[in-house]
């Protein structure tokens, strides 16, 4: 196994507030990793830095030990193979579920290639396969805006998988889901890990337990503890800043 993503001594402040404070983190290829932490711990800023939306003030962010992610933009990081799911499900509401997946398929993203693009049989097969995986085949022709909240979350995960990313960044996928949907989502993510590296940011402890993976606890932009959920739950500091509240 080799390191997929490495953050090394990353700092970022906004108007004097240190959102990320000397953050170092390494994630292996194929790993499923949960990141937890109280509000304002820097989880979203960390994702912004990894995807090139925000540049760190100092520190290194390395992709596959070779590419410097501090120099890419959002589209650039997506093209390298980083897929990101937002906390609030964000899909293309006025287009069909099928078209949403089709837009995300891993293909040439240049203007000309897109203008003259024809959907191949292989595309259609991939789209069908992905719709099957996220259980949306029966609503393929619906407008994405007509889906339920949970279905939109899955559609967005389907769109991520359509990009065939090496790394998926998933921001609070269980927010607003029913218990049954939450468990199904955990199962889906476990299924995906291995072939893809998955980083999940989450608040819901039942969900994190269901993921059954290594956990990193963030606090004030810094790694407080790392290990299995039971291990970090036993950590005094973690109990103090997070679990105890």
Partner 1 sequence: MLNLVDRRMGIFLAGLFLLTVAIPVGNLAMAGQPVPSYIVALLGKYLCYALLAVALDLVWGYCGILSLGHGAFFALGGYAMGMHLMREIGARGVYANPVLPDFMVFLNWDSLPWYWLGFDMFGFALAMALLVPGLLAFVFGWFAFRSRVTGVYLSIITQAMTYALMLAFFRNEMGFGGYNGLTDFKDVLGFSLQADSTRAGLFVLSALALAAGLLVSKAITSSKLGKVLIAIRDAESRTRFIGYRVEEYKLFVFVVSAMMAGLAGALYVPQVGIINPGEFSPANSIGIVIWVALGGRGTLVGAAMGAIIVGIAQTLFTSWFPELWLFALGGLFVFVTIFLPDGVLGLIESRLGRKAGPGAAAKEASA
95 binds partner 1 (CB under 8 A): yes
List the one residue out of 43, 21, 38, 45 whose CA is nearest residue 240: 38
- Closer CB to partner 1, 161 or 241, in the complex: 161
149 binds partner 1 (CB under 8 A): no
Strands 197-201 and 32-36: parallel
**3-state SS class at 244:** coil
- Closer CB to partner 1, 19 or 147, in the complex: 147
66 binds partner 1 (CB under 8 A): no
164 binds partner 1 (CB under 8 A): no
73 binds partner 1 (CB under 8 A): yes
Burial, 226: exposed, middle or buried (Cβ in 10 Å; 0-12, 13-18, 19+)? middle
- Closer CB to partner 1, 7 or 91, in the complex: 91
Q: Are 214 and 186 in contact (CB under 8 A)?
A: no
Between helix 97-104 and helix 121-133 the angle, nearest 10°, is 110
- Closer CB to partner 1, 36 or 47, in the complex: 47
Burial, 216: exposed, middle or buried (Cβ in 10 Å; 0-12, 13-18, 19+)? buried
**3-state SS class at 198:** strand
Whole-angstrom distance, CA of residue 161 vs CA of residue 157: 6
192 binds partner 1 (CB under 8 A): no
Residue from 15, 17, 110, 245 in contact with partner 1 (CB under 8 A): 110
Q: Minimum Å distance from CB 153 to partner 1?
A: 13
196 binds partner 1 (CB under 8 A): no
Q: Minimum Å distance from CB 72 to partner 1?
A: 11
Q: Are 219 and 20 in contact (CB under 8 A)?
A: no
- Closer CB to partner 1, 109 or 231, in the complex: 109
Residue from 8, 93, 179, 212 in contact with partner 1 (CB under 8 A): 93
- Closer CB to partner 1, 1 or 115, in the complex: 115
């Amino acid at each position: 196994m080799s390191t997929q993503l490495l953050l090394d001594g990353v700092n970022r402040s906004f108007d004097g507030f240190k959102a990320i404070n000397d953050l170092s983190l390494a994630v292996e290829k194929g790993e499923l990793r949960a990141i937890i932490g109280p509000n304002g711990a820097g989880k979203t800023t960390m994702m912004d830095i990894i995807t090139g939306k925000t540049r760190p003030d100092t520190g290194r962010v390395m992709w596959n030990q070779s590419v410097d992610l501090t120099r890419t933009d959002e589209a650039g990081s997506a093209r390298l193979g980083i897929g990101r799911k937002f906390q609030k499900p964000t899909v293309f509401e006025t287009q069909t579920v099928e078209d949403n997946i089709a837009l995300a398929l891993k293909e040439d993203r240049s203007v000309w290639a897109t203008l003259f693009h024809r959907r191949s049989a292989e595309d259609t097969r991939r789209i069908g396969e992905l719709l099957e995986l996220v259980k949306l085949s029966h609503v393929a022709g619906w407008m994405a805006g007509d889906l339920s909240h949970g279905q939109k979350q899955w559609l967005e995960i389907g769109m991520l998988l359509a990009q065939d990313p090496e790394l998926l960044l998933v921001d609070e996928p269980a927010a607003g889901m029913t218990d049954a949907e939450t468990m199904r989502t955990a199962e889906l993510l476990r299924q995906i890990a291995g072939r893809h590296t998955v980083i999940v940011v989450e608040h819901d402890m039942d969900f994190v337990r269901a993921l059954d993976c290594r956990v990193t606890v963030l606090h004030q932009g810094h790694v407080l503890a790392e290990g299995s959920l039971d291990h970090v739950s036993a950590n005094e500091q973690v109990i103090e800043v997070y679990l105890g509240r």
